Structure 1
């Protein structure tokens, strides 16, 4: 489940980064908008400053007033009107030609106070002082929006940064809470799906709730689980049928084969049979024994494969066991073209393992017999037992015809030696090595095939 927290952490990180970036961008845009929209009295383009400029440029000649040509042109172009209110009489003593009719010609102190911060008849007004009175500029009605009561508590202004940070923190917390709530809901939907995906390779039945945000995935996983369960049931049926078939065939072959072996043995020992026929009978006897051994190997392999062969484990001295197998081969009068050399160090008197003695004896016998069977021209078989760390190592090598790299690769990595598309490989090495591997693996050991430094095949068994 480590991937789910990582996914959530990544989402949270992206969310936080997004919130921070959005906050920075919004603050920058807000500042830019405020800078552009709110007139600054210190800016020469602002109406506050321009009103003072007009007041400064308004000159008096006798009893009349005149305005600079540039200012007159600008006022007319922008549809701005202007008046000069006398400081003493509070009467309009000068105005531009575009003065609206509804603009009064006399003012009280209250009117002057109102127009300084607000409007005259809906026109936003801005003032500038001159030696002769107060200059008032009136802008078009929809050109500016003036705040007539810009009064704030000093405490509020002083605490505005803290208030802003508190408001921002509350917004971030609310966003995180909403996000985590929805993410938690998604996580509760994802966790069962992740666990079910892990259970599928373990052949566990999966049953997910097919409702919610990820219902489509849940439906597909449930379907996959049902298909895998059905396939496993069918596979088990086939395995049982195969095991039963092998057991039945083995039983059916043994009865006629025992009769063939019995009568053939009698013919070999018969005094009336000619020498030539005796030789033919011996061939039949040897081949019949091979068939019997093959049937026994096939039956044992099937039992080992389906864990039907119980292990009678005892403490076994592998040095003594392997030496006994070698002695048995020598006592059975093997042909002169085959020699067995015992290379185990004399100082090693024992190498103890807990194992099924009969099965291990069968495995070592198969390895030596494998060297004999697949080297018809003869060879020397080298047998070694040694102890390495916590393992007992048995190595059987020969200096025979050996094996190609391609065949060795298939033997080491094929899950089943009896299944091979290489006819040459199947003939040279097959069921015998499979049984050895199954016996070794049933004892939690490992079997490795390789090239012998004597030139032939090397089989190494490691038993804990």
Structure 2
């Protein structure tokens, strides 16, 4: 569906709603008119009354009995005939306050308004005389200059207008609610799909409804991202596999040369440096591969109940047994209650080892690395702190924001694979990694992990 066709549909929908309002209001107005007709609208029979009055040569003759009967039948309290000069030529039940000659201004005023609180109707006779008929002031009122109606008609009209207004309001609310529900039904999958794409997860949206073309486009973007991510993961796995064999050969020969007593001490030292850098390269490749697997959810976690204190002890013991230069020292501090947690022991050990090695690698002058395990009822917090050179505020902000590319620490270049891997392991366990400056100098990295497995992993 093209954008023009998409918006044209909404334009036609708007036209349809306007027509619906017009038809609904016309129907309600016709219904109100029919209701008022059922009430028998008020009417003064002026033609019949005028036919009962004969005026000739200034004299007025009225069929008295018929006039009185017709007035009583229509609930008309009194009537009079005014001569052309304003004098009263004839009257019936005329109030005393109205029994006086009338000027042209008086006649104009009462024909458009009231006479002694009575709404009156006037009719001109053949010789210029004026027939004035009063209506019941307790039953009839004047609406405008030339319209009269009973109180019953007035209330029916007011209630009818209120009913029409209420019906229009309900119609607007119903149409708005229907449009909102339709939009929500169409937009909810779209918003969920955008959220999944923002989180780096694939999406498969239904390509139907008003937003079907947009959802189809998001599906295509998701498929392209999935293919790109798969190609990237395959390339990383391939590189790791291709490098593993020659690297193992290089490490083997370097180890042999380092242990050969026939070689000079300087050559054996150089062979040891080659072996150490090879070991570092192997760890970096392993970190890259594992970080890629965690990022694309290709590394399933092996959940186990474990003792976090024992885990930290094992990591530090392995590092000490592997040989630690004299300028570095490792400390372990345990706080909180003795308790276990749920997690992947291998991944958590890898995270702690990476953090300790990170402190060692970026402080060539030596430092003290303290690992703290704080066991709480709902969480377990691992803290790795050193008193080395630390990290600048800008880099700390970059790390805490999850941007690990191009990191530099202590003036040395860094690619961020180690910290990226630690952050990925923390996220996989439902926790987070936070870096902050240590006091007085150095870096403090905190892994805040839930003590129990997340509900969606159970």
Instruction: Report the TM-score range of the alignment, normalised by the length of the smaller protein.
Output: 0.5 to 0.7
What is the DSSP-based 3-state SS (H/G/I as helix, E as strand, rest coil) of the residue aligned with 2:323? coil
Alignment-derived partner of residue 255 in structure 2:
265
Figure out how many residues of one structure are paired with residues of the other and give that number: 341
Structure 1 pair 332/149, CA: closer, same or farther in 2 (3 Å)?
Answer: same
Structure 1 pair 396/168, CA: closer, same or farther in 2 (3 Å)?
Answer: same
For residues 380-438 of structure 1, what are the alpha-carbon distances to aligned partners after superposition, in whole Å with 9 as ceiling and x for unaligned? 00111122342111111000000111111110012x42x34879899347111111111
For residues 187-225 of structure 1, what are the alpha-carbon distances to aligned partners after superposition, in whole Å with 9 as ceiling and x for unaligned? 32232213433432311636565xxxxxxxx4xx44433
Structure 1 residues 142-181: aligned runs within 5 Å: 146=122, 148=131, 150=133, 152=135, 156-157=139-140, 161=151, 164-181=154-171
Task: Normalising by structure 1, report the TM-score.
Answer: 0.65
Structure 1 residues 203-214: aligned runs within 5 Å: 203=193, 205=205, 209=209
Structure 1 pair 155/325, CA: closer, same or farther in 2 (3 Å)?
Answer: same
Structure 1 pair 235/150, CA: closer, same or farther in 2 (3 Å)?
Answer: farther
- Does the 8 Å contact 1:385/1:394 carry over to 2? yes
Residue in structure 1 matching 2:87, options 127, 147, 151: 127
What is the DSSP-based 3-state SS (H/G/I as helix, E as strand, rest coil) of the residue aligned with 2:158? helix
Alignment-derived partner of residue 284 in structure 2:
294
- Does the 8 Å contact 1:318/1:350 carry over to 2? no
Structure 1 pair 463/138, CA: closer, same or farther in 2 (3 Å)?
Answer: closer
Q: Distance in 2 between matches of 1:390 and 1:108?
A: 109
Structure 1 pair 326/372, CA: closer, same or farther in 2 (3 Å)?
Answer: same
Deviation, 1:146, is: 2.2
Q: Distance in 2 between matches of 1:180 and 1:426?
A: 70
Structure 1 residues 352-363: aligned runs within 5 Å: 352-363=340-351
What is the DSSP-based 3-state SS (H/G/I as helix, E as strand, rest coil) of the residue aligned with 2:330? strand
Q: From the CA coordinates, give the structure whose radius of gyration is larger.
A: 1
Residue in structure 1 matching 2:360, options 347, 363, 372: 372
For residues 86-143 of structure 1, what are the alpha-carbon distances to aligned partners after superposition, in whole Å with 9 as ceiling and x for unaligned? xxxxxxxxxxxxxxxxx95441343999xx84677xx7x73369xxx9967679x999
Deviation, 1:181, is: 2.5
- Does the 8 Å contact 1:320/1:350 carry over to 2? no
Of residues 259-268 and 400-409 in structure 1, the stretch that sits farther from structure 2 once superposed is 259-268
Q: Does 1:440 align with 2:431?
A: no
Unaligned segments of structure 1, at least 5 residues: 1-102, 210-217
Structure 1 residues 328-343: aligned runs within 5 Å: 328-343=318-333
Q: Distance in 2 between matches of 1:277 and 1:138?
A: 136
Structure 1 pair 104/370, CA: closer, same or farther in 2 (3 Å)?
Answer: same
Alignment-derived partner of residue 276 in structure 1:
266
For residues 31-54 of structure 1, what are the alpha-carbon distances to aligned partners after superposition, in whole Å with 9 as ceiling and x for unaligned? xxxxxxxxxxxxxxxxxxxxxxxx
- Does the 8 Å contact 1:398/1:456 carry over to 2? yes
Alignment-derived partner of residue 188 in structure 1:
178
Q: Distance in 2 between matches of 1:137 and 1:180?
A: 54
Deviation, 1:276, is: 2.2
What is the DSSP-based 3-state SS (H/G/I as helix, E as strand, rest coil) of the residue aligned with 1:108? strand
Structure 1 pair 229/296, CA: closer, same or farther in 2 (3 Å)?
Answer: same
Structure 1 pair 253/194, CA: closer, same or farther in 2 (3 Å)?
Answer: same
Q: Distance in 1 between matches of 2:414 and 2:237?
A: 25
Alignment-derived partner of residue 230 in structure 1:
220
Q: Distance in 2 between matches of 1:268 and 1:247?
A: 31
Alignment-derived partner of residue 302 in structure 2:
312
- Does the 8 Å contact 1:445/1:461 carry over to 2? yes
What is the DSSP-based 3-state SS (H/G/I as helix, E as strand, rest coil) of the residue aligned with 1:188? helix
Q: Distance in 1 between matches of 2:108 and 2:322?
A: 122
Q: Distance in 1 between matches of 2:165 and 2:372?
A: 73
Structure 1 pair 262/421, CA: closer, same or farther in 2 (3 Å)?
Answer: closer
Residue in structure 1 matching 2:59, options 83, 92, 107: 107
Deviation, 1:456, is: 0.3
Alignment-derived partner of residue 323 in structure 1:
313
Deviation, 1:163, is: 5.0
Q: Does 1:250 align with 2:226?
A: no
What is the DSSP-based 3-state SS (H/G/I as helix, E as strand, rest coil) of the residue aligned with 2:62? helix
Deviation, 1:151, is: 5.5
What is the DSSP-based 3-state SS (H/G/I as helix, E as strand, rest coil) of the residue aligned with 1:194? helix
- Does the 8 Å contact 2:338/2:375 carry over to 1? no
CA RMSD of aligned residues (A): 3.6
Q: Distance in 1 between matches of 2:412 and 2:219?
A: 33
Q: Distance in 2 between matches of 1:423 and 1:376?
A: 12
Structure 1 pair 393/138, CA: closer, same or farther in 2 (3 Å)?
Answer: closer
Deviation, 1:364, is: 0.8
